Amino acid sequence: MSLTDSVNEALKSVPYPGFSRDIVSFGLVKGVSVANGSAGIDLELTSHNPKVASELKQACEAAAKTVEGIERAMVQVKMPPPGQSPGGGGPNQVKGLSKIVAVASGKGGVGKSTCSVNLACSLAQSGLAVGLMDCDIYGPSVPLMMGVDDKPEVSPEQKMVPLSSHGVKLISMGFLMPGDEPVIWRGPMIMRTIQQFVLDVDWGELDILLVDLPPGTGDAQLSLCQTVPMDGGVVVTTPQEASLGVVRKGIGMFKKVNVPILGIVENMSYFTAPNGDRVEIFGHGGGEKEAQNQGTRFLGEVPIFTEIREGGDSGVPIVVSAPDSEPAQAFSKVASTLRALLN
């Protein structure tokens, strides 16, 4: 590893003040040069706050000097012009969005979108202003599950106005593409779309924006984490090892971009047969055990209920159609835990 790479690596230990993510993953480090034992570091901030600039300058100097062969560090900090309005209190922070939480899974088919829509509706029922952003560009399912298939309007400020269903504001590629037309895009197009969903949508004032990520650890996940500061990630899994093994990769992705893991949800935990017998189709307890292994919280388990599937197919999530039912209460319990953690 070259000295320049080593300095870049050392700067990943410097968090942006008030956030858990580092300045490198936020894209604030614009250049690093090394010569004769000296490191030159160029930072470009989005905040006018001189205290932030001073803190980062000192932290970068200290981090660079931890690299063997670097004796001095000179940090140049560029701030926005006085007349330019920054995005918010932190790097690329979106005005009006109090908390942003990603719902992720290592693999498809574990019920991540089902959890996302039910958690969003449950949080809205508790009195919060909630948005749900469907980042599964290739296979959006939020429109079906929330019973919406209209196209968003454009505001006078040239921003998309999110649709609304069951008290939740929504945006999805499913609203923008006709019918079953496939999205055949390369990475840069995906990244640009994710950025537009965050920055070019008139979300208004939200207490929480839930982001339904596609499965895996690809362009969409990385683009989101680089666009806005995330307040946490929720990982959905099923109990069996085949799912848990991939979940570890999803957790590892969040850790690499310094997004706090809020916890793990075990979906399809068990099935109750008509005679009352409990059938553990995919095993049981894997999610809770993995949460212990990862040193994170177990947010709860959601058993298999026919009503949950029916709610997703009809566009009326179970927490809306039957909020007092057993399957709805399973989601409500997870939502209550999540709200307490964010508060």
Residues 6 or more apart whose CB falls under 8 angstroms from that of 74 comprise 38, 39, 40, 41
pLDDT at 183: 67
pLDDT tens across 268-317, in order?
Answer: 988 888 888 888 888 778 888 888 888 899 999 999 999 999 999 999 99
Percent of the chain with pLDDT over 70: 89
pLDDT at 117: 97
pLDDT exceeds cutoff 90 at 213: no
pLDDT exceeds cutoff 50 at 17: yes
pLDDT tens across 55-88, in order?
Answer: 999 999 999 999 999 999 999 998 876 544 444 4
What are the helix and strand counts (H, E) for the chain? 11, 12
Structural tokens at position 73: 């560090």
Comparing CA positions, the residue from 121, 108, 112, 113 lying closest to residue 318 is: 121
Q: Which of 62-66, 149-153, 220-224 has the highest mean pLDDT?
A: 62-66
- Interatomic CA distance for residues 197 and 194, integer angstroms: 5
Domains defined along the chain, listed by start: 3-78 (3.30.300.130), 100-342 (3.40.50.300)
CA 263 vs CA 116, 221, 333, 334: distances in Å: 14, 17, 13, 10
